[in-house]
Each structure stands twice: as C-alpha cells, then as structure tokens.
Chains A and B, each alone.
Chain A
Amino acid sequence: MADVAGTPGGNLGGANVSDLLAPLASGEGVVFLILALGVVAMSVVCMTRRNPVSAVMSLVATFFGLAGLYATLSAHFLAVLQVLVYAGAIMVLFIFVVMIVNREESTLVSLRGIPTRLLGVFAGVYMIRVFAGIAIPAQAPGPLPALSDSFGTVASVGDMLFRQDLFPFEAISLLLLVAIVGGVVVSRSARKESDAVIAADKRIAISHLSSHDSPAELSEVEETSAAAGGHH
C-alpha cells in the first residue's frame, strides 16, 4: 500500500474509479442515471422555487422518479405505493394547503441565525462524506444476490406485514388515527366555535326579552344571559 492516507475525495478507498463507474454504461445503468439525475434535479428545483405551486409540482416529479428507482430495485409494491400515497394523497394535501395560504415569498432564505443554520448544512455535508466512505466499496463489488420471483410483490410484502410484523402495522395504524384526530383539532378554528356559542346565548336572551315586555324584568334577564355566557 503506497498511500494509506487516502481520503474519499481522492482515490475512493483505493478502488479504481473506472471500475466503479463501469456499470453505468450498461442498459440498467443508463436507466438509473436518467432517473437519478431527474430526481436530483427535481428535488433541487423543489427546494429553490419561490412559488409554492411549482415547488409542489417538482416534488411530485421527484416522487415519480423515486417510484421508478424503487421498481429497478425490485420493490414493485413500494413503487406503486409511492405513487398512490405520496403523489396521490400527500401531494394533494399539500396542494390544498397551498390554496389556503397561497403566498409567494419575497425572500427565499431568511438571514436570521444564518451562521448556525449554514453550519448545520456543513455538518450534514460532513456526515454524508463520512458515510460515503463506507458506502463506496474498496473494489468493484460482486454481483447482487439472486431474488425469488415473488420478491417485492404485494403478496410477499403483505404476507410479511400481516404475519411477522403485525404489531408495528397496527401501531402505525393507531398513529394514523391519532394524526387524523390531531389534524382536525389543530386546524379547527377555536374562535368560530366560541362565536357560535355567544351567538346562541344572544338568541336565547332575545327570545326571553321578547316574551317579557316589562322593563322591570329587563335587568334580571340581562343577568341571566350574563350567567349563561359565563357558564359556557
């Protein structure tokens, strides 16, 4: 070993770069390359748009690209799920919220506390660099294990979910339930409800007033309505 002080930036762990890049020339490699570049490009676009609608749209594109990548990994069921849940459900949710709060930002990035935040980004870069050190193999890797025909199908994943991993499955369904209830509670307007209560009290007081015309009882009625208001 001539150079033990090698770093990931230079000679990747001692492996030959051309060896590592060779698989990209195959048919599979081209598909991966197209999908990967698409995903990266779309996600960068998503994170840099001022207009939220275009951000959401590029995110949808990212998810489609990811679904394709999942398929190349023989994860067919998850690829379908990715399209259904992310592109179908979650993104629709985002679109709705964009409709409610449709505001274009004047500035992309707030400068408040920017040194800390930038340092956080660099910390992320550092971690990726270290992890890449183990992800990238020292020499060209061998072939992947052969898979059964049912790998990644609905039947096989479902079998696993409902037999071995039933408890996490049920737990996550409970989490979804809690999230639904939480979403309703948080987004419900508290003021509207109290307005409704006050309005109902007023209606009751007015009906009382209309049935008693004598002014002597007026103050008493007001007290009653005040008490009713305080009660709610």
Chain B
Amino acid sequence: MPTFYYLILSFVLFLIGTTGVLLRRNALVVLMGIELQLNAGNLAMLTYSRALGDEKGHVFAFLIIALAAAEAAVGLAILVGLFRNRQTINLDEANLMKR
C-alpha cells in the first residue's frame, strides 16, 4: 500500500481541522478542530515511520498524544472559566484582547 495515500489523507484531515478552527464560532468545536489537526499530524508521523521502517515516528506520535491531552485539559479549563464569567463560549464575544 503506497504511503502517499496516507499522506494525502493526513493533509485532508488537517485542512478540515483548520477550516473548523478558522471558521466556527463555538470554542468547543474549535478545540475539536485542533484535535483533528494534531491527529492529522500523528497520521503523517506514523506514515513516514512505516515508509522508513523507523520507530522514531511512534515516539513522536506518543508525545503528541500526551501533548494533545494536556492541551485539551487546559483549553477546556479556559473554556469553562470563560463560560462562567461571560455565560457564552462564542469566540466572537470573547474579544477582550481588543481593549
């Protein structure tokens, strides 16, 4: 099975994730989009690991999964804090950085 299929799939997944991150209003969905992007990266890692016969990519994928877990924990905590303070998780209403 040629590896470029997997790579193309990884690109497509990443693009779907990016589109969600850039366009969606709901912070929860944006976080899910980030998870998708990370998974697309993981898929590319494992693909190249398979193509080169080297397990280094597995280690990277492992670390990325741990990173994703940490990111999800903090991101969701921030989301909960945002909701508690402003009763919304819409990103276009979370623009205090402007001021």
Give the B-binding residues of A (Cβ under 8 A).
20, 23-24, 26, 28-29, 32, 36, 39-40, 43-44, 46-47, 49, 52, 55-56, 59, 62-63, 66, 69-70, 72-75, 77-78, 81-82, 85-86, 89-90, 93-94, 97-98, 100-101, 103, 105, 107-110, 112, 117-118, 120-121, 124-125, 128, 131-132, 135-137, 140-141, 144-147, 151-152, 156-157, 160-161, 164-165, 168-169, 172-173, 175-176, 178-180, 182-184, 186-187, 189
Contact = CB atoms under 8 A, between A and B. Distances in A.
Contacts of B65: 78, 81-82, 85-86
Contacts of B66: 85, 172-173, 175-176
B28 A101 contact: yes
B33 to A, nearest CB: 6
A63 B39 contact: yes
B47 A121 contact: no
B53 to A, nearest CB: 4
A107 B68 CA distance: 28
Given A46-B36, A63-B39, A77 B58 contact: yes
Nearest to A113: B92
Given A55-B28, A90-B72, A145-B53, A32 B81 contact: no
B3 to A, nearest CB: 7
A179 B76 contact: no
Interface string B47-86: 1011111011011011101111111111011111101100
A100 B80 contact: yes
B79 to A, nearest CB: 6
Contacts of A164: 59
A61 B12 CA distance: 17
A75 to B, nearest CB: 5
A76 B47 CA distance: 13
B23 A109 contact: yes
The 3 A-B residue pairs with the shortest CB-CB distance, nearest first, are A179-B70, A47-B20, A183-B77
Interface size range of chain B in the complex? 35 or more
Given A78-B58, A137-B4, A70 B46 contact: yes
A-side binding surface: helix, strand, loop or mixed?
helix
B36 to A, nearest CB: 6
Contacts of A144: 1, 3, 50-51, 53
B5 A157 contact: no
26 contacts: A23-B1, A23-B5, A28-B1, A32-B5, A40-B16, A47-B19, A47-B24, A63-B39, A85-B65, A86-B39, A94-B76, A105-B26, A105-B90, A109-B23, A109-B25, A121-B22, A124-B15, A128-B12, A144-B3, A144-B50, A145-B51, A160-B59, A164-B59, A179-B70, A186-B78, A187-B76
Given A101-B89, A144-B1, A160-B59, 17 more contacts: A43-B13, A47-B33, A69-B9, A73-B46, A81-B62, A86-B68, A89-B69, A93-B76, A128-B15, A137-B2, A140-B2, A144-B53, A151-B55, A176-B66, A182-B74, A183-B77, A186-B77
Nearest to B39: A66
A20 B4 CA distance: 10
